[in-house]
Copies of this chain bind each other. A is one copy, B any other.
Amino acid sequence: MVQKNKQPPSAAKPQAAKAAAPAEPKRRGRPRAYEPDVALGRALELFRRDGFAATSLDDLSAATGMNRPSLYGAFGDKRALYIKSYQRYRDEARAAMIEIFRAEAPLRDRLARIYAIALDIYLSGASGPRGCFTVMTAASEAVSDPDIRAMVLEGLTEMDKAFSTCFRLAKERGELPEGADPIALAQLASATIHTIAIRARAHVPRKELEAIVQGAIDVMCGPK
């Protein structure tokens, strides 16, 4: 059977395990052989690349340098670790974008900046473009898992709302025509986020993704 989405043995995992191995200096409380924050980052990396089902506890152990009891003790079961990883992904993406959503810059500049950050996130990854956690793995889990579904819906709604605030503000400033519908525009702006996440995962080059973004901005903002 073909084992897919697995890296060759020489790639990230052994390196990650090695990096976590050296004993740390003693701290308050019980000594720990791992750093939970670093471990969570490595779990996120795996889940984001391979999804929920294809990531085994052995993979997570190797990547985090934590054995199964330690993983359970620190994070709970695989699903709990997946949810914590997704939460962290969301927090990081939100932190990267929130200032731009709040900024006073003209609409076109704000949109261009938001998509540039999204492309930075989607095209990163040592073993290929990782795309978006929501689009690539969480939306698949959402169909059967109510907690993950709630997180996905919250993420989608949050993005729609942030964009619609952008468009409403721009309309008030006269940057958009009278008839512009901030909610419809916001949903198209989110759709553009989704399409570049999917295309990134299929190795569409950044230049082409930027052209798609520019075309979308031109349609959404109207003639200059």
- Does any Cβ of B come within 8 Å of A57's Cβ? yes
Contact of A192 among B135, B143, B188, B220 (CB under 8 A): B188
> A7's closest neighbor in chain B, by CB?
B144
Contact present for B202 and A149 (CB under 8 Å): yes
Restricting to A121-159, which residues have a CB under 8 Å from any CB of B?
A: 127-131, 134-137, 139-145, 149, 152-153, 156
Q: A149-B203, A152-B202, A215-B188 are in contact. Are A140 and B137 (CB under 8 A)?
A: yes
B contact residues around A105 at 8 Å (CB) = none
Contact of A201 among B78, B142, B181, B190 (CB under 8 A): B142
Restricting to A28-83, which residues have a CB under 8 Å from any CB of B?
A: 49-54, 57, 77-79
CA distance A51 to B91 in the complex (A): 26
- Does any Cβ of B come within 8 Å of A198's Cβ? yes
Contact present for B54 and A181 (CB under 8 Å): no
- Does any Cβ of B come within 8 Å of A165's Cβ? no
| Residues of A bordering B, CB below 8 Å | 1-2, 4-5, 49-54, 57, 77-79, 127-131, 134-137, 139-145, 149, 152-153, 156, 179, 181, 183-185, 187-188, 190-192, 194-195, 198-199, 201-204, 212, 215-216, 218-220, 223
Task: Return the 3 tightest CB-CB contacts between A and B, nearest first.
Answer: A184-B215, A53-B54, A191-B195
